[in-house]
Amino acid sequence: MATPEQIEAKMKKLKTQAEALAAKKTQAVVDQIRDIMSKHGLTTADVEAKTSAKRATKGQKVSVAAGKTKIADVTKAKAAPKYQHPKTGATWTGHGRAPAWIAEAKDRNKFLIATGAEATVATTAGAVSKAKAAAKEASKAVLATAGKSQRKGPQPALYADPKTGATWSGRGRAPAWIAGAKDRTKYLIG
């Protein structure tokens, strides 16, 4: 069995061989590059100029139209914040998921960031939203008393089976104990 010193010596030897092999390959690649550059009459300054131009256009959209090249920035401008938390100063643009401090608010107008002419618009918008809310509440009250639609959720029982005590609301498919009956009045509750 080999000792740790022997293994370390072998590792050093292999490491130096690997470094020599890498240096040899690197030199071969550099020689190829120089050969290609001399064939095409290029200098290192030419190569540097091309690579710096590519770096400059990175993050930009290049379009070629009618023989002219146009470069436009691809980066999107951040939207200006529209809402601000009065205590913490945290802001939100109004796009995407609403943060917790504004998500539960019924009237978001009190969080609006308003300056100058926008301030008057915000106050009138607040009055309009209050009027809309009042109208909505009034319409809800009218609908509740009008009986326009059927009640949702569990219904009170209208029919009961005298033998088993099972009940049925009269909505949905009739249960077997009442389905075959011609006169359902004998099953009515109360």
Q: What is the pLDDT of residues 99-111, one digit of tens each?
A: 998 988 888 888 8
Between the two ends of the chain, the Cα-to-Cα distance in Å is: 98
Q: Do residues 161 and 178 share a domain?
A: yes
From 92, 131, 130, select the one nearest 111 (Cα to Cα): 92
pLDDT (0 to 100) of residue 166:
93
Q: Which domain holds residue 186?
A: 155-190
* Whole-number Å distance between alpha carbons of 13 and 117: 79
Q: With cut-offs at 50, 70 and 90, classify the pLDDT of residue 142.
A: low
pLDDT (0 to 100) of residue 155:
86
**Residue at 52 is within a domain:** no
Q: Do residues 90 and 126 share a domain?
A: yes
pTM above 0.75, yes or no: no
Q: Do residues 137 and 159 share a domain?
A: no
- How many domains, in total, are found in the chain? 3
Which range, 19-23, 45-49, 120-124, is most confident?
19-23
Q: What percent of the chain has pLDDT over 90?
A: 35
Q: Do residues 139 and 88 share a domain?
A: yes
Amino acid at 187: Y
Q: Which tens digits make up the pLDDT trace of 24-62? A: 999 999 999 999 999 999 888 888 888 877 776 666 665
* Whole-number Å distance between alpha carbons of 168 and 153: 14
User: Phi and psi dihedrals of 96, rounded to 5?
Assistant: 80, -170
Q: How far is CA 128 from CA 24, 89, 93, 106, 135, in A?
A: 79, 26, 22, 14, 11
Helix (H) or strand (E) holding 72: strand 68-73
Q: Could you tell me if residue 75 is left (phi over 0), alpha (psi between -120 and 50 degrees) or otherwise beta?
A: beta
Helix (H) or strand (E) holding 69: strand 68-73
